[in-house]
Amino acid sequence: MRISTRITHFLTSTLALNVFDSNGNDYVTVVDYYFSLEHDDKVSAKSFNAGNEAISLGVDNVRFFLPGKIEVVHPDLLALAALKIVSPYIGSQVIFEFPVSKKFEESVYKCYKNIKHINSSGFVSSRLPGTIHGMSFSGGADSVGVSALIPENSCLVLSARTFHKDIGKFESWYRTDQNVETLKHMPESFRKISAFSDFEFASTNGKWCIYPDKYAFTIPLLLMADYLKLKSVATGDVLAAFTGNEVKFGGTFSYKDAYIYEAVGLEFIQPGCGLTEVGTEMLARKKGLANISSTCQYGPFQKPCMKCIKCFRKELLRCALDGRMPDEKIVGIWNESPAVLSMANSMERSGAQMLPTISWAFDRIGGKFSGATEKIRRKAKLFSPNSGFAEFAYYSAYRDKDFEYILHTLKTLIETVGSMNSSQQDNFISYDALAQLKNNDVVEQLRSIIR
């Protein structure tokens, strides 16, 4: 594949998009990518993101709108950003109109087995780390909670969507205005950056957008890393991202391809790696930020839809932490919601994903429920005989991380969230709901609940 780029600048006032930098700016930098396919490239592929879904490339160009007048971007950053958009479609080689560094070239071959050649030059020196910490900030509840664990002067970089000119409206229910609002409401100690792009529309399964590569949402942060003088990128991943959706302990708490970020001078940090969603909600509350997070992509700012699984889980959690029953009206909405009904009536793994957290919440709330909500409560009880670990931090997840940063993280965690004791750790490590799904007794009980 041949990839070229163009960087241009506009006055912010000439754009309708909410591109901003809390430090102030008059300009927007537009970065355009053009992809030219060669004989062994393909337009249908399997995503490199978790799930490895079938995807197809619908366009040959994408565009980013970044706040500020960015004159140059290190070639390795430009290249990594491009690979996060098209890597699964590349046959055997990728040629940029500029050479990348030798160090980056090596990390590309290690990370992307399909790529056998990328143009590099010994004259290009690697990007050196900056001095400021960055976070890829979504505005979601985990992102907001995890922001309590990062240094106060960090840059929060939001990747928001804008429709692609060659595709038009697609997934029009998906809103990002509430994520931008959440960012705006974050503490002033952070530098807040809102960037827009149409890249998410480039890869779809025909019905919805699918990330072509892991951590594709970090692309705006990559493109701005020089401008913002960044030395790290944090993400809002929680334990479930490392343990296989809370149902089975995985044992590793690092993104295995983090070296490709290190090759562009960015340490990859996941401060929420030892926390469940209960922990991030507790952190957000402690910082007074729980009411500004964006629960789901369906509703406007502070008006979550209450019909999707995320809203269901978050409201349950909030009730558990408040010690109150969910509003009867809301339970009524859940019991009619296709997403909640499908979770209640599923024998599949997808229905078991967050059961420890859900089980913990129902235990805390107590009381009787009805309909689909009650089915989920009974299922959660079946899978999770002891979900007490949900409200604690698993400190072992923080081993082997950057010391200075993690010291800050652990200090905040100790002030806010308790740590698991050894029996909770044992319970957590040995927990395997997927294995229970294969147990005939459990399957029978599950059937009787669903019936």
Residues near Zn ion (CB under 5 A): 296, 298, 304-305, 308, 311
Residue closer to Zn ion (CB basis): 300 or 418? 300
Give the nearer residue to Zn ion in terms of CB position, either 141 or 433: 141
Residue 410 CB neighbour total at 10 angstroms: 18
Backbone angles phi, psi at 192, to 5 degrees: -110, 125
| Exposure letters 123-146 (e unless 16+ CB within 10 A, then b) | ebebbebbebbbbbbbbbbbbbbb
* Among the listed residues 63, 55, 410, 353, the one whose alpha carbon sits nearest the alpha carbon of residue 207: 55
Between 77 and 296, name the residue whose CB sits nearer to Zn ion: 296
Nearer to Zn ion, 94 or 316 (CB): 316
Give the number of other CB atoms < 10 A from CB of residue 19: 25
Q: Do residues 242 and 397 lie in contact, with contact meaning Cβ atoms separated by under 8 Å? A: yes
By the 8 A CB rule, do 253 and 273 touch?
yes
Q: What is the closest distance, in whole angstroms, from the C-beta atom of residue 180 to Zn ion in the complex? A: 17
Cβ-based neighbours of 446, under 8 Å, separated by 6 or more = 347, 379, 382, 437
Least distance (Å) from Zn ion to the CB of residue 243?
Answer: 24
Tally Cβ neighbours within 10 Å of residue 185: 16
Beta-bridge partner residues of 161: 197
Minimum Å distance from CB 308 to Zn ion? 3
* Short-list 212, 232, 38, CA closest to 133: 232
**Closest approach of Cβ 239 to Zn ion, in Å?**
22
CB-nearer residue toward Zn ion: 98 or 298: 298
Instruction: State how far Cα 306 lies from the chain centre.
Output: 21
Q: How far apart are CA 319 and CA 52, in angstroms?
A: 35
State which residue, 139 or 304, has the beta carbon closest to Zn ion. 304
Alpha carbon separation from 445 to 21, 168, 381, 383 (Å, rounded): 54, 48, 11, 10
The answer to whether the beta carbons of residues 62 and 33 sit under 8 Å apart is yes
- Give whichever of 101 and 179 is closer to Zn ion, judged by the CB atom: 179
DSSP 287: T
Which of 316, 48, 291, 29 lies closest to 181 in space, CA to CA?
291
Task: Tell me the closest approach of the beta carbon of residue 313 to Zn ion, in angstroms.
Answer: 10
For the beta carbon of residue 172, count every other beta carbon within 10 angstroms. 8
Helix (H) or strand (E) holding 382: helix 371-383
Q: Which is nearer to Zn ion, 283 or 340 (CB)?
A: 340
Return d(Cα 190, Cα 13) in angstroms, integer. 24
Q: Which is nearer to Zn ion, 311 or 420 (CB)?
A: 311
CB-wise, 178 or 427, nearer to Zn ion?
178
* CA–CA separation, 6 and 33 (whole Å): 7
Least gap, CB of 305 to Zn ion (angstroms): 4
**In the chain, count of helices (H) and strands (E)?**
17, 16
Which residue's CB is nearer to Zn ion, number 104 or number 334? 334
- In the complex, the smallest distance separating the C-beta of residue 312 from Zn ion, rounded to whole angstroms, is 8
- Ramachandran assignment for 51, one of left (phi > 0), alpha (psi -120 to 50 degrees), beta (any other): left
Q: How far is the CB of 301 from Zn ion (least distance, A)?
A: 13
